[in-house]
Chains A and B, each alone.
Chain A
């Protein structure tokens, strides 16, 4: 799952740094991800994992780091902890 998240961030996150070099706890907003880019990341995640983020999960904090995204996805993707 983490690698898929990194690929989606590389495609849509508009980060100013190498995504593969990011620590899972690195703040993505502090590394160039705009609010609009975070929307694209969210939709990219929805399409990649065939899920939909419910409105109660549309918090900025849920997309602030690879780890935060992984934690959010773990609530939506069956058997995600194994990946």
Chain B
């Protein structure tokens, strides 16, 4: 049995945690693809994300719905308030073995740096007509936010 101490030691940084979750109806994404086609894809998804979602219409819609959920979950972590953030500046990267990571660019990267995010993790899932994503970020303490730019990347489960 491992005893957990509530008193952090000097060696353990007191990182803050931010989390975000979102749920998207796969049929909504499928309908949007039918109604708006490429314009819809170009607004929301990077070329890598589109390339990662291949197969039947249902499979494509499931993958894209999970990725949109990841973007929205990430927004809950980044907390942009009234700042405009391009959806494509939050990108789900999928490795050949199915591991998904989250990468920020542009305004999303700026917000991540402002929040002191040093690590971020994403998990995607879908079942039936629902797709979901969960994002967790570790942030430096307010008094110790990094001043250099960072490239928040972390691994998690594939979709």
Contact = CB atoms under 8 A, between A and B. Distances in A.
Contacts of A36: 24-25, 28-29, 32, 68, 72
Nearest to B83: A59
Contacts of A42: 43
Interface residues of B, number: 20
Nearest to A62: B84
Contact of B40 (A34, A43, A60): A43
A36 B68 CA distance: 8
A69 B82 CA distance: 15
Q: How large is the interface on A (under 10, 10 to 19, 20 to 34, 35 or more residues)?
A: 10 to 19
Nearest to B29: A36
Contact of B84 (A12, A35, A37, A57): A57
B85 interface: yes
A4 B21 CA distance: 33
A43 B83 contact: no
Dominant secondary structure of chain B at its interface with chain A: helix
B39 to A, nearest CB: 6
Interface in B11-53: 22, 24-25, 28-29, 32, 35-36, 39-40, 43-44
B82 A61 contact: yes
B142 interface: no
A37 B29 CA distance: 9
Interface string A39-58: 11011001100000001111
Given A35-B22, A40-B32, 19 more contacts: A34-B24, A36-B29, A36-B68, A37-B28, A39-B32, A39-B40, A40-B36, A43-B32, A43-B36, A43-B40, A43-B43, A46-B39, A47-B39, A55-B84, A55-B86, A57-B84, A58-B85, A58-B86, A60-B82
11 contacts: A14-B28, A36-B24, A36-B28, A36-B32, A40-B32, A43-B36, A43-B39, A43-B40, A58-B85, A59-B84, A61-B82
